[in-house]
Amino acid sequence: MPDKTLFIPHIPELDACTQTEAAIALLDANAPRRIINCANWAEQHPYRPLSSFSVAHSGTALYIDFFSRTNFLRAEVYEDLGPVSRDSCVEFFVQPREDGEYWNFEFNCIGVLNASHRMERPAPTRLTPDELARVQRVPSCGTRPFCELEGMFSWNLLVVIPLDLIGVHYEGKPVEMRGNFYKCASATSQPHYLSWNPIDTPEPDFHRPEFFGKLILQ
């Protein structure tokens, strides 16, 4: 299956939004919602919760609104750089340039962030506290941690990632990057590993830039 291509619209007005609802409304009106539904390891992990995202950029930052509806909700990790992928988690991986370096931004449903950049998976450079603080996170679940809950839960998370944090400087012309979007929850009662662009590996593995799709800042 060929790589997907995602055109990311330019919405300068996003930076002027002082309310989360206004930013989400701009995204809903101008950025088509995409589904995260590739169950690449369906035999081992068949659960496929409804998960989606919309994304745009302001010229200075990426705005991503994640949404998910799940049977279980977990947010036990409460400190940045912790193992948030064990919780109810959404992720964005991006390779801004052709030099091979990629960035991983992983968020649990209360907005706790694990983020690094690297050339290869075994050699990450963790984001510093100052860099982590630059990534804005607005979770609908609040920010207090909790043990796993059973039921039907709908939640969203708006994140704002400065473009200069990943070394991108938008000058009004299209910028081509590569990346992928994920939904996972490895330690919940229904573990799952979903991606936007398909991944062809024997076991769940999101750190595979060769399976990133095209992302084009318009």
Domain ranges of the chain: 5-217
CA–CA gap between residue 216 and residue 218 (Å, rounded): 6
Tokens at residue 156, please? 């969203």
Q: Looking at residue 181, what is its pLDDT?
A: 98
CATH match of 5-217 with 2.60.40.1190 = yes
How far is it, in rounded angstroms, from Cα 15 to Cα 38? 32
- What is the pLDDT at residue 149? 98
Residue 1 confidence (pLDDT): 62
Tens digit of each residue's pLDDT, the chain (218 residues): 668 999 999 999 999 998 999 999 999 999 999 999 999 999 999 999 999 999 999 999 999 999 999 999 999 999 999 999 999 999 999 999 999 999 999 999 999 999 999 998 899 999 999 999 999 999 999 999 999 999 999 999 999 999 999 999 999 999 999 999 999 999 999 999 999 999 999 999 999 999 999 999 99
Q: Is 12 exposed, middle or buried (0-12, 13-18, 19+ CB in 10 A)?
A: exposed
Beta bridge partners of 162: 61
C-alpha radius of gyration, the chain, whole number: 16
Nearest CA to 84 out of 117, 115, 108, 116 is that of 108
The answer to whether 114 and 147 are in contact (CB under 8 A) is no
